[in-house]
Amino acid sequence: MFSIVTRIRSRSGNIVRKGHFVPQVRIRGAGAALVAAGVAASGVMAGGAATAAAATRPAPPTAAAATRPAPATRSAAATRPAPHPDVPPAYARTLTVTRLANAGPGSLRAAIDTANTSLPGRPTLIRFAVSGIITVTSPLPAVSRDATLNGTTAPGYASAAPVVEIDCNGQAGLEFAPGSTGSRVLALAVDDASGDGITLEASNITLDGNYIGLSPTGAAFGNRGDGVFVAASSYGNTIGENLTGTAGAVSNVISGNSGNGITLSGSSINTVQDNRIGTNPAGTSAIPNRDNGLAITGRSYANEIGGTAFVDSATGKANNPTGSKGTVTPVFVVPLQGNLISSNGLNGVLIDAGAGHNELNGNFIGTTATGDAGLGNGANGVWIDSANYNSLVGCKFVNNPFVYYNVVSGNKQDGLRVTDAKGTVVQGNFFGIGANNTAIVANRLNGIGVGGSSKDTQVGGVIPLGNVSAGNALNGIKVSGRASGFTTFNTFGGLLAFKGAAPNGRDGLLIKATGGDNLVRTNVFSGNRRNGIELGGNASGVTVDPDIAGLTTNGASPLPNGGDGLRIDGTAHGNVIGGSLRSVIPQNTFSGNDGYGVAISGRAYHNRVFTSFIGTKLLGLAALGNHKGGVLLTGHAYANVIGALSMRPANLISGNTGNGVTLRAGTTRNGVIKNYIGLNRSGRPLPNTGRPVVNHGRHNRIRGNRT
């Protein structure tokens, strides 16, 4: 059998023609008769035939049918999974590789040729009676029937590194052609292929315990394409599994390849678990894949990356990195089904080209295996681009926070980047800190970046579904472009979860987006080098209600931002600071900051600030003042309102060092209306150290305030 394969790859591994995605085309012709000479065969076992799945792919699942089957609960083991049984009853035939030769009797080539003569539905086991290197001098035949290549049977295998290596020697890698549904590759090293190391064109194939792009010693010996390429005709595969149920397992190591570590190209309902992608087997140093660690592209659908198990069956311990929100001693268990995806040349994970409903759980992306030190990918940790309804989820509502978190830290650009995507959900993850909720493992740009025309991005949710985005070189979260419908809810921005500061280098949250309908709700943005929250550029249509900036999570102690609690600058306009949303945070509280509680500058206009406490503790009875003053309007800010006609007190501006409200020269037509300035919420004195209001602007309205 021969194979002619023509591919033009994009950066993600897509097949493209004239700029458009197209499926890969394989043109095949019939070759010589398959050769079986010299291969030991056990014959058909009683009751041994198993029904194979059809090789053709069904129509893509509809939205109603897109629910992924729940993966079996697996934990991870400190070593590789236990060896798979040699001859389960399902095997109709057993063949044994007795020589390391390229061809001839007893070779792997002869075994595959013989397996390909099996009738459909009669699986073959290929065992190894030898260990060492099989160096091929021409491409191995594609596997076209259900066959298991079981390297765990080789002499010297000890549930660790493979002891059988397929050195493709510049020839094509292993290919599983239509008809090979149900096949397995166990504990083999596959390296030095001219293209992809392993190509899957049939379905329900399992890859477990393999080195793909490494020699058995763990040294880089990359394939010249992807480590694993999964075609659109292939679905329901298992790339990595952990059968022992204890923490720290490693299934496949897929590193050192010239393309992506793994590409899912139009392939759906796959499970990718317990792999190390872009690192050495120990997960402590880099062996990068040149492009992305994992690319999910070409409308790939409903793939599970990682898993939701978080209880180590060997110890009975459950991951609990916050210690039940700071009430008990934390317990750290590496999520049992997650992948380590680090040190790759581009992104750790790229989801693009219409791929949808894919979910990431329990993965460490940009860190070492412990999750507490950086081993960053060359671009973003995760980039979701032109792909809708994908998610990163680290817990459910009924769990403690972060029990199977994705830790997306240490990357050279953003931790998570979302562009031109709709319906992205991000809940229960760490961006910029270590898995231990203590170490800072900065992403070099933002923890989370949302831009382009992205719509309805949900970052967080009700407790315990919030995220930590802290310790990053720039901002905890940046929202830009025409992004709309964005929500951040229960984010720790600049601080550890229920602990102290882990400053972002600039703002906790920066919004420059013009798309509107963006909501900042029930977050704590404290401890950052610059501002807690900044609305800049031409940002409009943002609601900030209710949030804390400058205090700890309980609102009782200072955790200052180095700049202002809230800054509105540029030409930001039409934004609402305050409202009637209520949660564990009763109202906006901008207190304890090194700058002002609220500063409006540049040419910002038509912004409103009300139902906010500025300079007090959360309950508004005691002072935790901002160090430069309560509210500043400066530059050419105009037509902004601090307060409201319909309520008193509209804001509480008290307990600050400096003036309550300062309006500098150049400001015009702003209003300071019906606030308590220098009083607590009960109307008792809680003075600012300066004057209640200082107005050097023109046509500003100061009225109805109590001082």
3-state secondary structure 459-472: EECCCCCCCEECCC
Q: 5 pLDDT exceeds 60?
A: no
Per-residue pLDDT, 246: 79
Distance of alpha carbon 505 from alpha carbon 500, whole angstroms:
16
pTM for this entry: 0.88
What is the mean predicted confidence (pLDDT) over 604-612? 98
pLDDT at residue 8 above 70? no
Can you give the pLDDT at residue 86?
A: 45
Q: What is the mean pLDDT of residues 508-527?
A: 98
Residue 667 has pLDDT above 50, yes or no: yes
How buried is residue 582: exposed, middle or buried, by Cβ count under 10 Å (0-12/13-18/19+)?
exposed
Return the residue matching tokens 């412990």.
370
Given this model, what pLDDT does residue 582 score?
A: 83
- 546 cis-preceded (ω within 30 degrees of 0): yes
Give the pLDDT mean for 521-528.
98
pLDDT score recorded for residue 645:
87
pLDDT over 50 (residue 376): yes
- List pLDDT tens digits, range 311-362: 998 999 999 999 999 899 999 999 999 999 999 999 999 999 999 999 999 9
Which pair of tokens denotes residue 375? 């081993």
pLDDT value, residue 248: 85
Average pLDDT in the 657-674 region?
A: 98
Rounded Cα distance between 521 and 587, Å, is 10
Q: Which residue shows structure tokens 């166990």?
A: 186
Q: Which pLDDT score is estimated for 259?
A: 98
- In the predicted structure, residue 77 carries a pLDDT above the cut 50: no
Bridge partners (DSSP) listed for residue 331: 320
Share of the chain above pLDDT 70, in %: 87
Q: Can you tell me the mean pLDDT for 593-604? A: 98
Q: How many CB atoms lie within 10 A of CB 500?
A: 12
Q: Is the pLDDT of residue 470 over 60?
A: yes
Radius of gyration of the chain (CA): 29
Torsion of CA 434, 436, 437, 440, to 10 degrees: -30
Q: What is the pLDDT of residue 131?
A: 98
Strand partners, 677: 653
Judge whether residue 564 has pLDDT over 50. yes
Q: Is the pLDDT of residue 100 over 50?
A: yes
Whether residue 116 contacts residue 143, with contact meaning beta carbons closer than 8 Å, is answered with yes
pLDDT band of residue 544 (cuts 50, 70, 90) is very high
pLDDT digits (tens, 9 = 90+) for 26-70: 322 333 322 233 333 333 222 333 333 333 333 333 333 333 333
19-33, 152-166, 379-393, 684-698: least confident range = 19-33
pLDDT(88) > 60: no
pLDDT value, residue 18: 27
The answer to whether the beta carbons of residues 526 and 548 sit under 8 Å apart is yes
Burial class (CB within 10 angstroms; exposed 0-12, middle 13-18, buried 19+) of 32 = exposed
Tell me, what's the pLDDT at 56? 32
pLDDT (0 to 100) of residue 247: 84
| pLDDT tier for residue 690 given thresholds of 50, 70 and 90 | very high
The answer to whether residue 490 scores a pLDDT higher than 70 is yes
Q: What is the pLDDT of residues 622-651, one digit of tens each?
A: 999 999 999 999 999 999 999 998 888 999
The mean pLDDT value of the chain amounts to 89
21 falls in which pLDDT band (50, 70, 90)? very low
End-to-end CA distance of the chain: 90
